[in-house]
């Protein structure tokens, strides 16, 4: 199968590229950013087209030249950038998705699988102890709002234009290749491996992590499935942690890691949503998470140690760092 991945140099996109290539598919990538180090081992197997999803001509030309059977649409503006630049968030996340769907419809692409986010759920009431697709979607951020629009636009193309569509709603991801977005837990792991001492907030809301390999596999499964019974799927591990517990698991894998719990503000950057219930994607697509939090951290630590030239620790990226 021939698959085009928009945003293939991004966090999830790089892993999607690798999985599709490993499975023997013909893969193209539309992106404007620098290639992720995760892509480097398979870069020669990817047909790269430089282009911006906000430009309908770029998108049309990429789809026309690559002639994909299906598209994985992962290009987007992430949380903090969306909040600081709402106009750009709409142009990239909503306008970009519209451009992809229009090109798919015009050029006969039969399926688009798009990245949404668990951010569409916003703040969930205390009476809800498990998060699934039946929970009302009430986003409280610009990022979540734009993703909610995506979840409404796609099914219109599915019903009225015949373009198969599904939006995947991943919770927070951890793993190699994250360069933008929420770097809170990523900073902790990198600091441990780099031997850097950083403060860690003494209190934080519980948050859920899913390993990026599991996220990527969900997108690949949705792309390659014979049928898409639903137009949206929540993707998560169902396992929550706190920063304090997260640090202790990091120490299990990096015993000499140096952290100090301090009374600094975490900013609650990581979601306080209840644990996910992923029955729908399991029943429809056969997807289940493979990595526990400990396995995710351990695998990521191993990758960082094996690829020292592919990353660096940036103290300025620690969102709560103090002098």
pLDDT confidence of residue 256: 93
Residues 211-246 as b or e (16 or more Cβ within 10 Å = b): bbbbbbbbbbbbbbbeebebbbbbbbbbbbbbbeeb
At 270, is the secondary structure helix, strand, or coil?
coil
pLDDT confidence of residue 323: 44
**C-beta atoms surrounding 160 within 10 Å:** 9
pLDDT confidence of residue 322: 46
pLDDT in tens, 215-247: 999 999 999 999 999 999 999 999 999 888 999
Helices (H) and strands (E) in the chain, counts: 11, 13
Second-level CATH architecture of 2-172+210-235: 3-Layer(aba) Sandwich (3.40)
Tens-digit pLDDT profile for the chain (323 aa)? 999 999 999 999 999 999 999 999 999 999 998 889 999 999 999 999 999 999 999 999 999 999 999 999 999 999 888 989 999 999 999 999 999 999 999 999 999 999 999 999 998 988 899 999 999 999 999 999 999 999 999 999 999 999 999 999 999 999 999 876 567 889 999 999 999 988 887 767 789 999 999 999 999 999 999 999 999 999 999 999 988 899 999 999 999 998 877 765 555 455 679 999 999 999 999 999 999 999 999 999 999 999 999 998 888 777 765 44
**C-beta atoms surrounding 66 within 10 Å:** 20
pLDDT confidence of residue 80: 83
pLDDT confidence of residue 266: 55
Compute the distance between CA of residue 45 and CA of residue 285 in angstroms, rounded to an integer: 27
pLDDT confidence of residue 181: 58
For residues 109 and 69, is the Cβ–Cβ distance under 8 A? Answer: yes
pLDDT confidence of residue 310: 92
Compute the distance between CA of residue 101 and CA of residue 63 in angstroms, rounded to an integer: 11
pLDDT confidence of residue 315: 80
Domain spans, the chain: 2-172+210-235, 179-209+239-273+291-317
**Strand 240-241 to strand 207-208: parallel, antiparallel, or no bridges (unpaired)?**
antiparallel
pLDDT in tens, 178-227: 876 567 889 999 999 999 988 887 767 789 999 999 999 999 999 999 99
CATH class of 179-209+239-273+291-317: alpha beta
Cα diameter, the chain:
58
Please name which of 261, 138, 247 lies closest in space to residue 191, comparing C-alpha atoms. Answer: 247
Phi, psi of 6 (to 5 degrees): -85, 145
Compute the distance between CA of residue 23 and CA of residue 318 in angstroms, rounded to an integer: 37
């Amino acid at each position: 199968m021939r698959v085009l991945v928009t945003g293939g140099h991004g966090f999830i996109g790089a892993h999607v590229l690798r999985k599709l290539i490993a499975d023997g598919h013909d893969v193209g990538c539309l992106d404007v950013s620098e290639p992720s180090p995760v892509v480097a081992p398979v870069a020669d197997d990817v047909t790269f087209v430089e282009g911006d999803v906000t430009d309908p001509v770029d998108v049309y030309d990429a789809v026309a030249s690559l002639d994909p059977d299906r598209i994985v649409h992962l290009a987007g503006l992430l949380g903090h950038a969306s909040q600081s630049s709402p106009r750009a968030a709409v142009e990239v996340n909503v306008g970009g998705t519209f451009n992809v769907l229009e090109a798919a419809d015009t050029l006969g692409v039969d399926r688009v699988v798009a990245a949404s986010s668990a951010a569409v759920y916003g703040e969930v009431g205390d009476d809800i102890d498990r998060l699934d697709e039946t929970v009302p979607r009430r986003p409280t951020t610009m990022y979540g709002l734009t993703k909610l629009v995506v979840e409404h636009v796609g099914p219109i193309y599915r019903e009225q234009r015949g373009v198969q569509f599904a939006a995947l709603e991943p919770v927070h991801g951890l793993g190699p290749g994250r360069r933008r977005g929420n770097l809170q837990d990523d900073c902790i792991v990198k600091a441990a491996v780099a031997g850097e001492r950083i403060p860690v907030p003494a209190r934080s809301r519980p948050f859920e992590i899913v390993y990026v390999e599991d996220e990527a596999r969900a997108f690949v499964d949705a792309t390659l499935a014979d049928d898409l019974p639903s137009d949206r799927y929540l993707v998560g591990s169902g396992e929550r942690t706190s920063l304090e517990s997260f640090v202790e698991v990091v120490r299990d894998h990096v015993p000499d890691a140096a952290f100090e719990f301090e009374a600094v503000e975490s900013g609650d950057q990581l979601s306080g949503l209840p644990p996910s219930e992923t029955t729908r994607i399991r029943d429809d697509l056969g997807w289940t998470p493979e990595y526990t939090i400990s396995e995710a951290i351990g695998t990521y630590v191993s990758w960082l140690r094996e690829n020292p030239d592919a990353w660096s620790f940036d103290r300025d990226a620690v969102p709560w760092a103090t002098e």
